[in-house]
Amino acid sequence: MFSLTVCLKMTELLFLSTGLVSGLLSILVALITYKKVMQADEGDQRMREVSHLIQGGANSFIRIQYRILLTFTIALAVVFALIFGDLGVPIAISYILGSLASMSAGYIGLAVATRANRRTAAAAAEGGLNPAFIVAFRSGSVMGLMIAGIALLGISSLYLLWAIIFPALETPLLWEIITGFSFGASTVALFAKAGGGIFTKTADMSADIVGKIEYHIPEDDPRNPAAIADAVGDNVGDIAGTGADIFDSNVAAILAAALLGAGIDALFSPPIVFALLPLLIAGLGTMASVVGVYLVHPNDRDDPGVALNRGTYLTTILFAVLILIVLPVLGIDLSIALSAIFGLLAGVFIGFTSDVFTNDKGLRGFTPVANMVEMAEKSAANLILSGYSYGLLSAVPSVLGVVMALIASFIMGSSPGLVGPGGWEGGIYAVAIAAVGLLSTNGMTMSSDSYGPIVDNARGVIEQADASQDAIVACDKLDAAGNTAKAITKGFAIGSAAISVLALFAAFIEASKVILGTELVVVDIADPFILAGAFIGALIPITFTAMLILGVDRNSGRMIEEIRRQFQEDPGILEGTSKPDYERCISIATSGAIKELMPSTVMAIGVTLITGVVLGLEALGGYLGGAVIVGFIMALLMSNSGGAWDNTKKMIESPDYDHDHPQYEKIHDNSVLGDMVGDPFKDTAGPSINTLLVVISLTATLFLPLIAQMHQWLWSLF
Q: Which of 245, 302, 247, 376 is nearest to 639 (CA)?
A: 245
366 DSSP β-pair partners: 363
Give yes or no for residue 388 having a pLDDT over 90.
yes
Region 147-172 average pLDDT = 87
Region 689-709 average pLDDT = 86
Give yes or no for residue 45 having a pLDDT over 50.
yes
Region 314-336 average pLDDT = 88
Better-scored residue on pLDDT, 402 or 480: 402
Please check whether residue 205 is in contact with residue 592, taking contact to mean a CB–CB distance below 8 angstroms: no
pLDDT for position 560: 92
Q: How far apart are CA 686 and CA 231, in angstroms?
A: 20
Confidence of residue 125 (pLDDT cuts 50, 70, 90): confident
Please check whether residue 543 is in contact with residue 640, taking contact to mean a CB–CB distance below 8 angstroms: no
Please check whether residue 181 is in contact with residue 95, taking contact to mean a CB–CB distance below 8 angstroms: yes
Q: How far apart are CA 146 and CA 315, in angstroms?
A: 17
Give yes or no for residue 419 having a pLDDT over 60.
no
Confidence of residue 520 (pLDDT cuts 50, 70, 90): low
Mean pLDDT, rounded, of the chain? 84
Portion of the chain with pLDDT greater than 90, in percent: 24
- Cα–Cα distances (Å) from 235 to 109, 110, 117, 232, 243, in that order, read 9, 6, 10, 5, 10
Please check whether residue 689 is in contact with residue 544, taking contact to mean a CB–CB distance below 8 angstroms: yes
Give Cα 692 distance to the centre of its chain. Answer: 11
Cis check for the bond before 328: say yes or no (omega within 30 of 0): no
Q: Is 387 exposed, middle or buried (0-12, 13-18, 19+ CB in 10 A)?
A: buried
* Rg for the chain, CA atoms, rounded: 25
pLDDT tens digits for 165-208?
888 777 778 888 898 998 898 888 888 888 888 888 888 888 88
Region 655-683 average pLDDT = 88
Give yes or no for residue 6 having a pLDDT over 50.
no
pLDDT tens digits for 217-255?
876 778 888 888 887 777 777 777 777 877 888 888 898
Q: How far apart are CA 629 and CA 135, in angstroms?
A: 39
> What backbone torsions phi and psi does residue 655 show, to the nearest 5 degrees?
-65, -20
Confidence of residue 302 (pLDDT cuts 50, 70, 90): low
Task: Kindly compute the dihedral angle of the four CA atoms of residues 324, 327, 332, 334, in this order, to the nearest 10 degrees.
Answer: -10
Give yes or no for residue 418 having a pLDDT over 50.
no
- Cα angle 148, 154, 158 (rounded to 5 degrees) comes to 155
Confidence of residue 516 (pLDDT cuts 50, 70, 90): low
pLDDT tens digits for 251-299?
888 988 888 888 787 777 666 678 899 999 999 999 999 999 988 877 6
- Cα–Cα distances (Å) from 287 to 280, 442, 480, in that order, read 11, 11, 29
- The strand ranges marked E within 98-149 are none
Region 620-639 average pLDDT = 90
Give yes or no for residue 501 having a pLDDT over 50.
yes
Please check whether residue 152 is in contact with residue 44, taking contact to mean a CB–CB distance below 8 angstroms: no
Q: Which of 299, 182, 191 is nearest to 249 (CA)?
A: 182
pLDDT for position 517: 58
pLDDT for position 513: 66
Region 630-651 average pLDDT = 90
Q: How far apart are CA 655 and CA 644, in angstroms?
A: 19
pLDDT for position 565: 93
Region 102-119 average pLDDT = 85
Residues whose CB is less than 8 angstroms from the CB of residue 349 and which lie 6 or more positions away in sequence, other chains included: 397, 398, 401
pLDDT for position 2: 37
Q: How far apart are CA 457 and CA 121, in angstroms?
A: 9
Please check whether residue 634 is in contact with residue 686, taking contact to mean a CB–CB distance below 8 angstroms: yes
pLDDT for position 372: 95
pLDDT for position 613: 94
Q: Is 618 exposed, middle or buried (0-12, 13-18, 19+ CB in 10 A)?
A: buried
Please check whether residue 200 is in contact with residue 238, taking contact to mean a CB–CB distance below 8 angstroms: yes
Q: How far apart are CA 139 and CA 37, in angstroms?
A: 6
pLDDT tens digits for 546-593?
999 999 999 889 999 999 999 999 989 888 888 888 888 888 888 888
Give yes or no for residue 701 having a pLDDT over 80.
yes
Confidence of residue 3 (pLDDT cuts 50, 70, 90): very low
Please check whether residue 240 is in contact with residue 109, taking contact to mean a CB–CB distance below 8 angstroms: yes
Q: State which amino acid sits at residue 142.
A: V
Q: State which amino acid sits at residue 237.
A: G
Give yes or no for residue 4 having a pLDDT over 60.
no
Give yes or no for residue 649 having a pLDDT over 80.
yes
Q: How far apart are CA 304 and CA 454, in angstroms?
A: 14
DSSP result, 355-412: HHHHSSS-BTTB-HHHHHHHHHTT-HHHHHHHHHHHHHHHHHHHHHHHHHHHHHHHHH
363 DSSP β-pair partners: 366
